[in-house]
Structure formats: C-alpha cells, structure tokens
Amino acid sequence: MSEAVLDASVVLKWFAPEHRGSVEARELRNEYEAGRLTVAVPALLFLELLNVAGRRWRWSEGALLDLAEGLDDLLFEVGEPGLQSVASWVARGLTAYDAVYVALAEERGLALVTDDETIVALAGEITRPLVGGSPSAT
C-alpha cells in the first residue's frame, strides 16, 4: 500500500466536472477506494473544497450539504503540521494554505500530490505532480 498527502487541487477533481487532471485524480480515487492508497490531509482541505464548490462553482445548498456528507465519509488521516514548518514554507513563497500541505507531507516523509504549479516549483523535492508525474508515490 502506498501513502501520500493530497491537496485540494487533486481532491476537488474527485467531485468536479471535467478539468485538466480529472482522469489522473480519479485514478488516485480508485486506488484510495480499493485500499491501495492511504491519504493524509490537513483539516483545511475540507474547508477549501466547500469554499470552491460554493463560491466558484456556485453549487446549491443541497449540493453543498451532499458534498459535506460525502467528505465526512472519507476516511482520510487528518493531521496538522507544526506552525514552524508552515512558517518556513511561507517564507519560501507559498501561501499559508499551500504551506500546510507541504509541511504535512514533509513531516510525514510522504509525497504531496498536487496540480498546483507554484507548489511544484517551490517544493519540487516533496511533490509529485498530478499530471505528468508519478502521483501514487512513496
């Protein structure tokens, strides 16, 4: 079994209409659902998903409630990295939100699977790009 940290740019594609990387994200979801991938995330992930679905995609309250229920059913390992680790990544140019994912992956010794080019550029040694990379790593 493999383990990875997934960020919102990846997990969003599990619920979204077709976007770049949707096929790769669904492959990860299939691995997760088959028990071949353990996923770790910060609690922030769930808020980010609801925010994008509500504000960018303009989902209805009913759809958002269904999403929240679906998120509750995911058995991700939820963890929070130390603030010093987050601060270190913010100092390197990441937003605090993105830094939480990178710091969590770093502290756990896992790959961060992301579709965020800025994260890949600034934390390439920790990341596995969703598209064009080897995302089901470590």
Listed by start position, the domains of the chain span 2-129
Q: What is the pLDDT of residues 59-108, one digit of tens each?
A: 999 999 999 999 999 999 999 999 999 999 999 999 999 999 999 999 99
- We find that the CATH architecture of domain 2-129 is 3-Layer(aba) Sandwich (3.40)
Compute the distance between CA of residue 45 and CA of residue 49 in angstroms, rounded to an integer.
6
User: In sequence order, which ranges of 35-82 are alpha helices (DSSP H)?
Assistant: 44-51, 61-73
pLDDT greater than 50 at residue 138: no
